Structure 1
Amino acid sequence: MAAVRALVVPRLLAASALAPLPGRLRALTPRAALHGSAPLFGARVALVLSGCGVYDGTEIHEASAILVHLSRGGAEVQIFAPDVAQMHVIDHTRGQPSENESRSTFAVDGKDCRVNEDVARVLKEFHAAGKPIGLCCIAPVLAAKVLSGVEVTVGHEQEEGGKWPYAGTAEAIKALGAKHCVKGVTEAHVDWKNKVVTTPAFMCETALHHIHDGIGAMVKSVLELTGK
């Protein structure tokens, strides 16, 4: 795992290195460089997605914002995703689960959720090696579940009239033994001890550019922690 300096994870699932891996995390692109051939000399980053779609995987705007900020930071990126069956797949034309298709289990199991074994392994390996980890939206729950005593944020702890509709997630994070830190949507929380950086993203009902700014703060801190 020494080849990869940082891990950035949107939504529920997390990931690996710039090489073939044991287990069921698969690279989504044949080359690390995306949409360009210019050499990059910044941090090498693994970006892990969990499918595509706000109701059943990675929120596409979050993924795009992460890639934009990583590109601006000069990072060399390769994208991964778990090669596993999903709990469900949403038909976005109907807003309902598709039949005969099946994704972590936090959405239904809360603090008793199970984390994909390869995702948990990679998080632990990055953490043990002192490599920075970035997580946005609901994905900080992964760190709370897998890494003992970690500090994370999913935003505010009260709904505040619907602005923070998933505020109850903070209590689940505390129940897992992690510390929840209240942050605004344009902010990121840095757990300096564990090198874990988190930001609320779409845990907040707000304008898209606020989500973009918060993810930018997360990516900037992750890249700074790589020392590159």
Structure 2
Amino acid sequence: MKVGVLLAGCGVFDGAEIHEATLTLYFLDREGVEIVCMAPDIPQKEVINHLNGEKMNETRNVLVEAARIARGNIKNINEVSADEIDALIMPGGYGVAKNFSNFLEKGAEADVIPEVKRLLVEMFQKGKPIGAVCISPVIVAAALREAKAKLTIGSDEQVAKAIEAMGQQHLVCPVSEALVDEEHKIVSTPAYMEGKTIKDVAEGIEKLVKEVLRLAGKQ
């Protein structure tokens, strides 16, 4: 079984959240599945100094930065189709909202970049499971507006309202759990939208991975 892991760069404030990404990779590897890391070959929206939170005057590439987490074993998302993987999981981080969409600017009216939207739509149309961690459900909601899927980002009212305005159903969920939409084969967990430490987010991500693999048919 092959599971895609879609990364938005490297670092919570401008890329993929490293704890969430690493936990996802760990729990997938523990289950013995083949992992296909991927990212779009695009410039980051911005680069943030993670020491002081200030914006830096430099440019970085999402695929190149994501390769740090994947230890270099990563593909351009344009080289991956839904036919090649059995499921897809997207860790969170501000980079998901910043690099994959204009959600921070447009909220419920957000558009998803073509590279990411194409694969999410392919997975959905083929009935293959999608896992969305932390803020990632907003990307799923924006890309699959006709789905009327059940999603969670925890309990953040503003983001929840945006998800519902996109035509989806938002349900409150604790960090230790994963919400499963059986009909649409979409699993989501709040992770750092609710959790304070890595041990908090690990429990929900572990459950998300197990549910995604179950929906993909892994016994």
Normalised TM-score (structure 2) = 0.77
Which residue of 1 is the match for residue 183 of structure 2?
Answer: 193
User: Deviations along 1:155-184, whole A, 9 cap, x unmatched?
Assistant: 12xxxxxxxxx4421111011110001111
Partner of 1:84: 42
Counterpart of 2:197?
207
Q: Write the mapping of 1:22-171 to structure 2, written as runs, cut at 5 A.
A: 43-101=1-59, 103=99, 104-147=101-144, 148=146, 149-156=148-155, 166-171=156-161
Using the alignment, how far apart are the partners of 1:111 and 1:83 within structure 2?
A: 25
In structure 2, C-alpha distance between the alignment counterparts of 1:107 and 1:216, rounded to whole Å: 28
1:218, 1:187 → 2: CA distance? 8
Residue equivalent to 2:89: none
* Amino acid in the other structure paired with 1:150: A
The letter of the residue matching 2:25 is: L
For structure 1, the residue ranges without an aligned partner over 5 or more in a row are 1-42, 157-165
Amino acid of the structure 1 residue aligned with 2:210: K
CA RMSD, Structure 1 to Structure 2 (Å): 1.3
Structure-2 separation of matches of 1:66 and 1:210 = 14
Partner of 1:25: none
Q: Match of 2:29, SS?
A: helix
Q: What SS class does the counterpart of residue 65 from structure 1 fall into?
A: helix
Cα distance in 1 for residues equivalent to 2:59 and 2:110: 20
Q: 2: CA distance between counterparts of 1:191 and 1:167?
A: 20
Indicate conservation of the 8 Å contact 2:108/2:166, yes or no.
yes
Uncovered stretches (5+) of structure 2, i.e. residues with no partner: 61-98
- Residue in 1 aligned with 2:66? none
Deviations 1:102-152 (A, max 9, x none): 732212321122211011010010111111010100000111112221110
Instruction: Summarize the alignment of residues 212-223 of structure 1 with structure 2, pairs less than 5 Å apart.
Output: 212-223=202-213
Paired-residue identity, %: 42
Q: Which amino acid aligns with 1:62?
A: E
**Cα deviation, residue 44, structure 1:** 0.6
What are the Cα deviations for residues 198-227 of structure 1, in whole angstroms up to 9, with x where unaligned? Answer: 000010142321200100010000000111
**Structure of greater Rg:** 1
Are 2:133 and 2:188, in contact at CA under 8 Å, matched by a contact in 1? yes
Structure showing the higher helix proportion among its residues: 2
Normalised TM-score (structure 1):
0.74
**AA at the equivalent of 1:131:** K
